[in-house]
Amino acid sequence: MLNEVGSQLDLSRVHFLGKIPYSQFLAMLRISTVHCYLTYPFVLSWSMPEAMAASCVVAGSRTAPMEEVILQQENGYLVDFFDVSNLAKTIYNICVDPASHASIRQAARQTILDRYDLHRHCLPRQLALLEQHFS
């Protein structure tokens, strides 16, 4: 990537962390202005809900996995996967005025708590499926 766009980046503002411990990953999310999550239709990785749980503003690709979780301008922002200009504009708007996105941050976290909390939602559902299958 750096070979393709490196000359266009201010490398003093871009951080390549490599593999870091989970606690550092969460700390990084908590201080992030925006979490850019691009995925082509496949599955949602664990990092996107983690970002929402950490109250990140998520700007991501408008694909089926993202549309299951992100409600446009309610708990995040979706842009067409190949619309680079709109993605850049969305990220720019978030970075220019991070405080104006406080309600998005709160809604992102609340979405995860309401729908994906391990102990209140995910684990009970998984246990119910196992009980149903093995009883």
Please name the helix (run of DSSP H) or strand (run of DSSP E) that holds residue 131, with its range, or none: helix 123-134
CATH number at residue 86: 3.40.50.2000
Tell whether the torsion through CA atoms of 73, 65, 41 and 52 is positive or negative: positive
pLDDT for 40: 75
Pick from 37, 17, 38: nearest CA to 28: 17
Residues spanned by the domain of 104: 2-134
User: Length of the chain, please?
Assistant: 135
pLDDT for 107: 98
pLDDT for 122: 85
pLDDT for 93: 96
Cβ atoms within 10 Å of 77's Cβ, excluding its own: 23
Global pTM value? 0.82
Pick from 86, 82, 40, 66: nearest CA to 58: 66
What stretches in the chain show pLDDT beneath 50?
none
C-alpha distances (whole Å) from 130 to each of 68, 111, 121, 127 are 24, 25, 15, 5
Assign 36 to helix, strand or coil.
strand
Query: Total structural domains in the chain?
Result: 1
Distance between CA atoms of residues 63 and 122, nearest Å: 23
Please name the helix (run of DSSP H) or strand (run of DSSP E) that holds residue 79, with its range, or none: strand 77-79
pLDDT for 39: 79
